[in-house]
Structures are given as structure tokens and as C-alpha cells.
């Protein structure tokens, strides 16, 4: 072999995750060396990685990395690999190779065709190959959640943490099921109590808007730890600390109301969902058969399908209002919003006054002026943005991540359609799947982020002016979001307003 012959590297990779063409490494090597021989190239180095996926850049491919370094050092000018798939399935890495090929003239040859990255057609070929490989990767990840889906197809109870109302076996836990049914029944009423009110009822609280028909239950997370401890004890293990009981929160109830299992639908949670929200699988989806019909689970439903769907409708309604500030059309700023300083019940309007019978009777105008002055001062503070980010709970972030995933899927499909990799009907199918999911997720996010319910007041350049110009309903929500207002009785005979008799405590300091 002459000194002037092109120096080439051979890259071999066996990936055990591909059983369809798990080609022996010897066969790859044989093919690659034959290519070198045919072209009169001099193979200066051989790189081989085993059992490493080309798709996951977090997985280490030591030989691949060494090859990149050696190429940068000018040790060879050509790479021979059995298939482009063997080199990389990451579009980003491929673009890197294309860049260096254009700069330095890298020759890249594969056993099933030449991918000359220095020419337009070669680059197009490489990109199409990479796109095809990527869709294959997506099919593979679908295969991996196959066993989970198989379980669901057989209508068996999903593995994992038991939901309120069902034992791990799928059997009904009677006293919890009673609560679940009541939660659904109350929320299915079109003009019924809000999720927050139902949460208060479940926590054993009382109040004007709080339904009294709910049993008082300890928080489910606490029950689960106690049960787990019983199992640990049976195994001779130390018990884990049991969290204190506390009030139920709206997000837990939302998870219950969204769970199709209660209507007897078999469910699955896809892999992406689990990855993005490691703490819990909350977004279970109804499993459907080939005709699009829901697959039934083998467990006893706690609510009827009709009730479950009525609840979803109310949850999805864009005008859904979860807090007390909008539950009925109020005419006055503080009615049902300000609380009586004696009994904690919301005050009602009584003529020109706010009243809690037998406890408090206050001039509406005096109280409202004072409350508004404090709210305006709060809205004018430069740290208002901190208040908004303070409500960004991890759950909201998880929802946002899911929305991003769906959007990225659509974008990718559009890109693949433009590149003529997929057909119009494929693009439509992707859109038809993703868009309703995005709508539902956005509705959930709206319900969780108060600031979105505040008519954008907090996001305006001048929040004070935006607040002053906002309709009464929005003003009430802003007040409710920022502060708790208590009214105390005014000392008799005192003419001037005493600010100490109206307490405005910020909810976020
Ligand atoms: Zn009272």
C-alpha cells in the first residue's frame, strides 16, 4: 500500500438493543475491510463500541469519542462504517460530521452506500437516513412500554402506587370509594362546589361553601406511608417517618377527578410522562382498542362513565373557576371574600355594609378603600414577579414539560413532512393526537396557576393600572390571590376609620 493512499478508520458497533439486525461485529469488520481494500485505502485504526445505543448521548461510547479526537488530530481522512446507523442516530452529531466534512473533506463510506458528506446529495441522503433511524427509535421506545400496555390490554390493574379507593390488588377499599364517589358527584354538578371547597370538606373543615356530605379522610399520602410501614414491619424493617396529617390540596383532587380508572377504563401512562415527572404518574390515559373503543378494566368502577365524562367536561371548560371569588356573580368587592374576624366565615353584603350576623357590621366603602389601598401598594412593589413564580409548583412544571413534548412532536412531524419523509396523513395523525392532549394539559395548568386566572393583571407593565381597569370579578381574584382579609367590629362611637379593624395579611410575603 502506497504512502499516498487515503488513511481510513473503521468504526464498528454492536448494539444489543436492536434485535432485528444485530449483526455480528466480525461480519461488520469483514465488510468494512473489503471496502478499504476495494478502494485501496489504508486502515490505520479500528474503533469498536459494544452494547451502546447510538441514540442516547448520555451513554458513553469510548471508542467513538476516541475516534472523534483522533480525527480532530488528523490521524485519518476517511471513516468506514457498516451503516450510518452505526455511527450516529443523533441529528446533532450528524450535523457535526457534516460540518467537519464540509470544512476538511471527510470521506464517509458505509457498506450499503456512500454518504459523501461533502456533496448536497450525500448530505441529504445522510439526513434522510438519520430521520428514518430516529423514527425507528421512537417505535422502539413504544415497544419498551409494551409490557405495561399489555397489562392494560388485559384489563389488569396498573402496577404501582394504589389510588384512593382501590387496593393494590384492584379491589375496592369501601370507605375510600365512598369518598371518591362523593368527590365526583359533587364536582359533576354543573354549578357545584369548587375543587378547593371539596378539598376542605374532605379535610373535615366547615364553612359556607364547604360541602358537608364528604367523609373526613386522612391525606392519602399519609395512609400510603402507614400501609407501607405495616409491610416493612412484617419484613422486620424499620418503619419510615409518617407525615403529619394536613388538609387535602386541590392538585390531589384534580388527579382523582382526572383518573379514568374510577370509571372502569383500563389505563396506561406512556414512558415520556413517567420520565418527565418521576415523582408520580398522574396523567393516566384511557387505553383504546383498534376501533378506538375504551378497553374495560377488570376492577369494579366507583363512578359511572357518564359521571366521569361530565366531570371531564367541567374540568375542560375554559371558563372553569376554581376559587370562591367567582363561584357566583358577585356585585360587591368583598362579599363572600372577606372573612369575619370572629367566626372566619365569609361576610355577606347587607345594604351599604358587609355583615356577619351577630359578629361584624362594617361600612363597605371604608373597608374596600382600605383593602384597595393595600392591594395597590402590593401590586406596585417591584418584587411582584417573585409572587408569581412562588406558585410554580413542580406539578405545573411537569405539565409544561409535557406540553413542550407534544409541541415538539408536532414540530418534528412538520419538519419530516417538509423533508418528504412522512405523508400528509401521518402529519395529520400526529396533530390529531397531540392537539387535544395539549388543550387538556393547558386547561389543567390554568386551573393550577392562579396568575392565569387573574386576567393577566400581574403580568402587565403597570399592574396597578391593570388592576384598576379590570372587571370586578378579576379584582376579587387578585385580592384573593394576594391576601387574606379579616373584618373586626369597629369600636362604638369612633368616627374615624381604624385600620387595625381590617386585617389584610399577604399570602405571599
Ligand atoms: Zn362571624
Closest CA to 375 of 293, 457, 492, 299: 457
Q: What is the pLDDT of residue 495?
A: 72
- In tens, the pLDDT along 332-357 reads 899 989 999 988 888 998 889 999 98
Cα 451 to middle of ligand 1, angstroms: 30
Q: Which of 19-28, 88-97, 152-161 has the highest mean pLDDT?
A: 152-161
pLDDT confidence of residue 184: 95
Q: Enumerate the β-bridge partners of residue 81.
A: 11, 110
Specify the range with the lowest mean pLDDT, choosing from 121-130, 212-221, 293-302, 476-485: 121-130
Looking at residue 370, its pLDDT comes to 92
Mean pLDDT of 435-457: 72
- Distance from C-alpha of 453 to C-alpha of 465, rounded to nearest angstrom: 17
* CA 352–ligand 1 middle distance (angstroms): 18
Q: How far is the CA of 339 from the centre of ligand 1 (A)?
A: 8
What separation in Å is there between the alpha carbon of 218 and the centre of ligand 1? Answer: 28
Per the structure block, which three cell numbers stand in for 404? 413542550
Q: How far is the CA of 476 from the centre of ligand 1 (A)?
A: 20
DSSP secondary structure code for residue 124 in this structure: H
What pLDDT score was predicted for residue 412? 82
Each as own residue / partner, the long-range contacts of residues 221-230 (CB below 8 Å, 24 or more positions apart, any chain) are 224/161, 224/162
Cβ neighbors of 410 (< 8 A, separation 6 or more) are: 430, 431, 434, 435
Confidence of residue 5 (pLDDT cuts 50, 70, 90): confident
What does the DSSP assignment read for 87-153?
A: H---HHHHHHHHHHHHHH--EEEETTEE--TTSHHHHHHHHHHHHHHHHHHHHHHHHHTHHHHHHHH
Give the strand pairing for 348-350 and 339-340. unpaired
Question: In the predicted model, is pLDDT for residue 318 greater than 50?
Answer: no
User: How far apart, in Å, are the Cα atoms of 229 and each of 235, 236, 243?
Assistant: 10, 10, 12
Residue 505 alpha carbon to ligand 1 centre in Å: 18
Considering only CA atoms, give the Rg of the chain: 31
The per-residue b/e assignment along 385-397, b for 16 or more CB within 10 angstroms, e otherwise, is: eebbeeeeeebee
**Could you tell me the distance, in angstroms and rounded to a whole number, from the CA of residue 284 to the centre of ligand 1?**
43
C-alpha 245 to ligand 1 mean position (Å): 27
Closest CA to 20 of 108, 131, 133: 133
Cα 487 to averaged position of ligand 1 atoms, centre (Å) = 9
Q: pLDDT: is 167 or 112 the higher one?
A: 167
Give residue 177's pLDDT. 95
Q: Calculate how far, in angstroms, residue 253's C-alpha sits from the geometric centre of ligand 1.
A: 29
For range 37-46, the mean pLDDT: 88
Per residue in 378-426, pLDDT (tens digit) is 898 888 777 665 555 677 778 888 888 888 888 888 877 777 777 778 8
- Residue 144, pLDDT score: 45
Q: What separation in Å is there between the alpha carbon of 53 and the centre of ligand 1?
A: 67
Distance 67 CA to ligand 1 centre (A): 77
| Distant-in-sequence, close-in-space partners of 102: CB < 8 Å, separation ≥ 6 | 117, 118
488 Cα–ligand 1 center, Å: 9
Residue 116 confidence (pLDDT): 64
Taking 90 as the threshold, does the pLDDT of residue 181 lie above it?
yes
Q: Which of the pair, 20 or 237, is modelled with greater confidence?
A: 237
Cα 346 to middle of ligand 1, angstroms: 8
What the block records as the C-alpha cell of 461 is 407593565
Burial of 238 (0-12, 13-18, 19+ CB in 10 A): exposed
Lowest-confidence pick of 75-89, 202-216, 278-292: 278-292
Paired with 502 in beta bridges are 487
pLDDT band at 164 (very low <50, low <70, confident <90, very high): very high
Report d(CA 290, CA 150) in Å as an integer: 14
Residues that place a CB less than 5 A from ion ligand 1: 340, 342-343, 356, 359
Global confidence as pTM: 0.39
For residue 347, report the distance from its CA to the centre of ligand 1, in Å.
7
Query: What is the C-alpha separation between 205 and 217, in angstroms, rounded?
Result: 11
Comparing 135 with 397, which gets the higher pLDDT?
Answer: 397
Selected residue with higher pLDDT from 209 and 145:
209
Q: How far is the CA of 343 from the centre of ligand 1 (A)?
A: 4
Instruction: Output the CA 473–ligand 1 centroid distance in Å.
Output: 24
Instruction: Report how far ligand 1's centroid is from the alpha carbon of 357 (Å).
Output: 6
| List of residues 6+ apart from 284 with CB closer than 8 A | 158, 258, 259, 260, 261, 267, 268, 269
Say whether pLDDT at 316 is over 50: yes
Distance 327 CA to ligand 1 centre (A): 21
- pLDDT for res 173: 94
Amino acid at each position: 500500500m502506497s504512502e499516498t493512499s487515503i488513511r481510513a478508520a473503521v468504526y464498528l458497533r454492536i448494539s444489543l438493543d436492536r434485535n432485528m439486525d444485530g449483526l455480528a461485529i466480525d461480519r461488520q469488520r469483514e465488510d468494512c475491510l473489503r471496502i478499504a481494500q476495494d478502494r485501496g485505502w489504508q486502515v490505520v485504526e479500528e474503533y469498536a463500541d459494544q452494547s451502546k445505543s447510538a441514540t442516547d448521548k448520555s451513554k458513553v461510547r469510548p471508542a467513538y469519542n476516541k475516534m472523534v479526537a483522533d480525527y480532530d488530530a488528523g490521524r485519518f481522512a476517511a471513516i468506514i462504517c457498516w451503516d450510518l446507523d452505526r455511527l450516529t442516530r443523533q441529528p446533532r452529531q450528524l450535523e457535526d460530521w457534516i460540518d467537519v466534512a464540509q470544512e476538511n473533506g471527510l470521506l464517509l463510506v458505509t457498506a450499503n452506500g456512500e454518504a459523501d458528506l461533502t456533496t448536497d446529495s450525500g448530505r441529504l441522503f445522510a439526513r434522510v437516513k438519520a430521520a428514518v433511524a430516529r423514527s425507528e427509535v421512537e417505535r422502539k421506545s413504544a415497544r419498551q412500554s409494551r409490557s405495561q400496555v399489555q397489562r392494560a390490554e388485559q384489563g389488569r390493574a396498573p402496577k404501582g402506587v394504589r389510588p384512593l379507593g382501590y387496593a393494590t390488588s384492584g379491589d375496592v377499599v369501601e370507605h375510600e370509594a365512598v369518598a371518591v364517589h362523593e368527590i365526583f358527584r359533587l364536582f359533576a354538578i354543573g354549578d357545584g362546589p369548587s375543587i378547593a371547597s371539596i378539598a376542605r370538606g374532605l379535610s373535615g373543615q366547615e364553612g359556607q361553601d364547604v360541602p358537608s356530605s364528604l367523609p373526613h379522610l386522612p391525606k392519602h399520602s399519609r395512609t400510603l406511608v402507614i400501609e407501607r410501614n405495616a409491610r416493612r414491619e412484617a419484613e422486620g424493617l424499620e418503619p419510615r417517618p409518617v407525615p403529619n396529617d394536613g388538609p387535602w390540596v386541590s392538585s390531589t383532587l384534580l388527579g382523582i377527578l382526572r383518573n379514568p380508572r374510577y370509571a372502569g377504563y383500563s389505563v396506561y401512562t406512556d414512558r415520556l410522562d413517567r420520565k418527565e415527572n418521576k415523582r408520580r404518574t398522574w396523567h393516566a390515559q384511557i387505553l383504546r382498542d383498534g376501533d378506538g373503543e375504551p378497553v374495560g378494566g377488570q376492577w369494579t368502577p366507583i363512578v359511572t362513565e357518564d359521571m366521569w365524562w361530565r366531570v371531564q367536561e367541567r374540568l375542560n371548560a375554559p371558563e372553569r373557576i376554581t376559587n370562591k371569588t367567582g363561584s357566583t356573580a358577585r356585585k360587591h368587592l368583598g362579599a363572600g371574600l372577606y372573612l369575619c374576624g370572629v367566626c372566619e366565615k365569609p361576610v355577606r353584603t347587607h345594604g351599604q355594609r358587609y355583615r356577619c350576623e351577630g359578629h361584624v357590621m362594617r361600612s363597605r366603602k371604608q373597608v374596600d378603600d382600605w383593602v384597595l389601598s393595600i392591594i395597590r401598594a402590593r401590586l406596585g412593589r417591584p418584587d411582584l414577579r417573585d409572587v408569581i413564580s412562588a406558585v410554580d409548583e413542580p406539578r405545573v412544571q411537569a405539565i409544561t414539560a409535557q406540553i413542550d413534548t407534544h409541541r415538539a412532536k408536532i414540530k418534528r412531524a412538520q419538519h419530516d413532512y417538509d423533508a418528504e419523509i412522512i405523508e400528509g396523513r401521518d402529519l395529520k395523525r400526529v396533530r390529531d393526537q397531540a392537539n387535544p392532549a395539549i388543550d387538556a394539559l393547558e386547561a389543567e395548568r390554568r386551573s393550577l396557576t392562579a396568575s392565569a386566572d387573574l386576567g393577566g393583571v400581574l403580568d402587565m407593565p403597570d399592574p396597578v393600572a391593570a388592576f384598576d381597569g379590570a372587571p370586578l370579578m378579576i379584582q376579587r381574584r387578585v385580592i384573593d390571590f394576594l391576601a387574606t382579609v379579616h373584618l373586626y367590629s369597629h369600636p362604638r362611637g369612633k368616627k374615624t376609620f381604624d385600620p387595625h379593624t381590617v386585617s389584610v395579611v399577604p399570602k405571599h410575603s
